[in-house]
Amino acid sequence: MKAAYYKGNKTITVEAGSRVAPGPGEVRLDVAYCGICGTDTHIYHGAMDKRVKMPQIIGHEASATVAELGEGVTGFSVGDPVVVRPLDNRLETPADRGFSHVCKGLKFIGIDSPGAFQNSWTVPAFTLHKAPEGIDLKLAALCEPLAVACHDVRRGRVKPGELAVVIGGGPIGILVALVAKHAGAHVILSEVNAYRREFAAKLGLEAVNPMETDLEALCQEKSGGSGADIVFEVSGAKAAAATMTDLLAIRGRIVVVAIYPLPIEINLFHFFWKELEMLGARVYEPEDYDQALELVAAKALPLEALITDVQPLDNIASAFSGLDSSSDAMKVLIDCRA
Amino acid sequence: MKAAYYKGNKTITVEAGSRVAPGPGEVRLDVAYCGICGTDTHIYHGAMDKRVKMPQIIGHEASATVAELGEGVTGFSVGDPVVVRPLDNRLETPADRGFSHVCKGLKFIGIDSPGAFQNSWTVPAFTLHKAPEGIDLKLAALCEPLAVACHDVRRGRVKPGELAVVIGGGPIGILVALVAKHAGAHVILSEVNAYRREFAAKLGLEAVNPMETDLEALCQEKSGGSGADIVFEVSGAKAAAATMTDLLAIRGRIVVVAIYPLPIEINLFHFFWKELEMLGARVYEPEDYDQALELVAAKALPLEALITDVQPLDNIASAFSGLDSSSDAMKVLIDCRA
């Protein structure tokens, strides 16, 4: 049994770990694959050292099989393929009004408690979604970011025939674009990085460089003069926040996916004048995982192409440092099998 | 027949005007009362000289009676009391997608074409809402700002029992607070001006000074720790934009009523973290006028108190200059009867 421990200062070491026997309501998993998320790279860079208790096993984009059931767990059998929705809402209160996935006391498994970069992982059974038999466990590891995209598109109420602009072509932006397209929208991806634009184009997405293309004019042209129905702001860039309202039609919608650490200037006049709507979107709800699993199982999206590399757990430190030196990688998976 | 002409540079003069015979689809009205709106004072100060063609008869918060019907007008009889919804959407196109009230080619009657500060006013019949017989025409003149408030509250989907904060206690803020309260919300009005707070309190509203009261703590206290369900931003103040997201519960809503001429800093992190929603709201739709007329006819709100003063048309210049020297006035009506 091995586990990868984040120890601060861009240091991750693989050492002997110990299996945690599942308590009541828990399940011990044999982890299959776990993707490296942008949040994991933030942790690696020390940006979340106040929150993470070192040494910390991180990782939250996992596929796995059930290894051992704790007392009272039903609905799962040893060997079942599963994915983990890494949200622990056991501190939820009535003041959260039922919005469990963003409750005030939410603990994120893999940040606030041990994560999936290990062979054996014990989690609450309520975090599990059973995957169809025979699912590709590499693709299943993409369910977590895919569920984010499903949540964003659902929150934005994307309808067939709508014009959607996705600003930012990293892994989440690409997934949002793919899910919005699958929902029937015409999608324009706005991305300044040429590699990412080429990558998106290979996936069948229309990708433009906002430094070269007049995105507002393009939206007008594609919509018969109305403007875009919806903008997904996934970039976190100041220029995106400043111009996103320009792109929209009357009653157009913005979904805020990016994390803006500081207040940022927004054109509120456009909100008034065009009666715009802006919706924040964070993580996912169970139905988003259900949809993500359906999309993976049905091979409805070109997800295979998003997996840039797969590295064994022993190589996790070099996988993290490699992501540091390249902005071209989409998703790097860690193979956590023993 | 007299009319008040705005001639630029804080100059409004009352002169002889001429009745305009109603063309096909038009109705000539005998104007009863017309309120002075914040927009009218902006025009008076020259802030809209690029848009207004001088000499211009302004005024758009009118009650009236039908004087003469143009060809093809049905559903109205001479003598009917009416209010005017001053939106001319005849340049609407399919690109506006049916949102007539904020269509790109919208002309605002009383700004882009002659308004109500005259004895006799000719308007398209589609702008008219018939008022119940016996309605108080002074109160009916409040229908226009009241319809704004009805639109804002409807756009915000206010439900009984919700906690609503209205930031800004001018005429529109007060009306939004009254309509939200009538919809069953618990309302807190945030206003820095002591006179306006006292005025609001006399109307039965809870009014607080955000410079003295910790509004965020108050919202927490009133909501059992959740925060407010909805904030109406009616002030246009930088401090309001900066702090409005602090007040809200998870999935809380903001309705942007104020006009911000310049981009302003907003806490987008709160949008992400609490999955907030922001909705722009501008003018009104026909059902908002219907609701406003119902509220006036039913005497459901203490509207009488909002009428600070009523002045004859001949005194309109001094009424405008008086508003300049006092921030205490709520609504000044001009009596436009011959």
Question: Chain A partners of B242 at a C-beta cutoff of 8 Å?
Answer: 263
Q: What percent of chain B has pLDDT over 90?
A: 98
> Rounded CA gap, B145 and A176, in Å?
41
Q: What is chain A's mean pLDDT, rounded?
A: 97
Q: Where are the alpha helices (DSSP H) in B45-122?
A: none
- Residue B109 per-residue DSSP state: B
> Rounded CA gap, B333 and B117, in Å?
10
Quick: pLDDT tens for A54-94: 999 999 999 999 999 999 999 999 999 999 999 999 999 99
> Rounded CA gap, A153 and A137, in Å?
24
CA-closest candidate to residue A302, choices A190, A199, A203: A203
Instruction: Report whether pLDDT(A325) > 90.
Output: no
**Burial readout B55-92 (b: 16 or more C-beta within 10 A, e: otherwise):** ebbbbbbbbbbbbbbbeebeeeeeebbbbbbbbbbeeb
> DSSP string of A162-216?
-EEEEE--SHHHHHHHHHHHHTT-EEEEE-S-HHHHHHHHHTT-EEE-TTTS-HH
Question: Chain B partners of A260 at a C-beta cutoff of 8 Å?
Answer: 268-269, 272
Question: Chain B partners of A274 at a C-beta cutoff of 8 Å?
Answer: 102, 280
Q: What is the pLDDT of residue B101?
A: 98
Q: What are the strands, taking DSSP E only, across B42-195?
A: 61-69, 81-84, 87-88, 107-108, 120-124, 128-130, 163-167, 186-190
> Rounded CA gap, A334 and A138, in Å?
9
What's CA B138's distance to the chain center, in Å? 15
Quick: pLDDT tens for A204-263: 999 999 999 999 999 999 999 999 999 999 999 999 999 999 999 999 999 999 999 999
* A273 close to B (CB below 8 A): yes
Q: What is the pLDDT of residue A327?
A: 73
How many inter-chain contacts (A to B, CB under 8 Å) are there?
140
Are A224 and B94 an interchain contact pair (Cβ–Cβ within 8 Å)? yes
Are A268 and B256 an interchain contact pair (Cβ–Cβ within 8 Å)? yes
Quick: pLDDT tens for B240-256: 999 999 999 999 999 99
What pTM value is reported for the model? 0.97
Instruction: Report whether pLDDT(B338) > 90.
Output: no
> Rounded CA gap, A61 and A331, in Å?
11
Are B224 and A94 an interchain contact pair (Cβ–Cβ within 8 Å)? yes
CA-closest candidate to residue B65, choices B5, B3, B142, B140: B140
Quick: pLDDT tens for B280-297: 999 999 999 999 999 999
* B223 close to A (CB below 8 A): yes
- Residue B71 per-residue DSSP state: T
Helices (H) and strands (E) in chain A, counts: 10, 18
Chain A residues 93-132 with a CB less than 8 Å from chain B: 93-97, 99, 102-104
> Rounded CA gap, B96 and B91, in Å?
10
Q: What is the pLDDT of residue A134?
A: 94
User: Where in the sequence numbering do the catalytic residues of A fall?
Assistant: 39, 42
Shortest distance between the Cα of A134 and any Cα of chain B, in A, equals 36
Measured CA angle at B216 (ends B187, A258), to 5 deg: 110
Tokens found for residue B171:
């005429």
> Rounded CA gap, A328 and A278, in Å?
30
Q: Looking at residues B165-180, what average pLDDT do you find?
A: 98
List the domains of chain B with CATH numbers: 2-146+284-335 (3.90.180.10), 157-280 (3.40.50.720)
Give the CA distances from residue A97 to residues A9, A113, A223, in Å, rounded to whole numbers and listed in that order. Answer: 39, 24, 38
Nearest to B241 among A268, A273, A282 (CB): A268
* B266 close to A (CB below 8 A): yes
Answer yes or no: are the C-beta atoms of B180 and B216 closer than 8 Å.
no
Strands A228-233, A163-167: parallel, antiparallel or unpaired by DSSP? parallel
> Rounded CA gap, B319 and B332, in Å?
8
Chain B residues 140-169 with a CB less than 8 Å from chain A: 155
Closest chain B residue to the Cα of A261, Cα to Cα: B269
Task: Kindly report the backbone phi and psi dihedral angles of residue B37, in degrees, each rounded to the nearest multiple of 5, phi listed first.
Answer: -95, 160
Are A275 and B279 an interchain contact pair (Cβ–Cβ within 8 Å)? yes
Answer yes or no: are the C-beta atoms of B6 and B12 closer than 8 Å.
yes
Nearest to B277 among A95, A249, A278 (CB): A278
Q: What is the pLDDT of residue B328?
A: 81
> Rounded CA gap, A188 and A177, in Å?
8
User: Where in the sequence numbering do the catalytic residues of B fall?
Assistant: 39, 42
Measured CA angle at A330 (ends A29, A281), to 5 deg: 75
Q: Residue A326: which pLDDT band, with cuts at 50, 70 and 90?
A: confident
Question: Chain A partners of B258 at a C-beta cutoff of 8 Å?
Answer: 268, 272
Q: What is the ipTM of this complex?
A: 0.97
Instruction: Report whether pLDDT(A338) > 80.
Output: no
Quick: pLDDT tens for A35-52: 999 999 999 999 999 999
> Rounded CA gap, B251 and B53, in Å?
45
Are B263 and A260 an interchain contact pair (Cβ–Cβ within 8 Å)? no
Quick: pLDDT tens for A280-293: 999 999 999 999 99
Q: What percent of chain A has pLDDT over 70?
A: 100
* B258 close to A (CB below 8 A): yes
Nearest to B99 among A104, A250, A265 (CB): A250
- Reported as type and span, the H/E element at residue A146 is helix A143-155
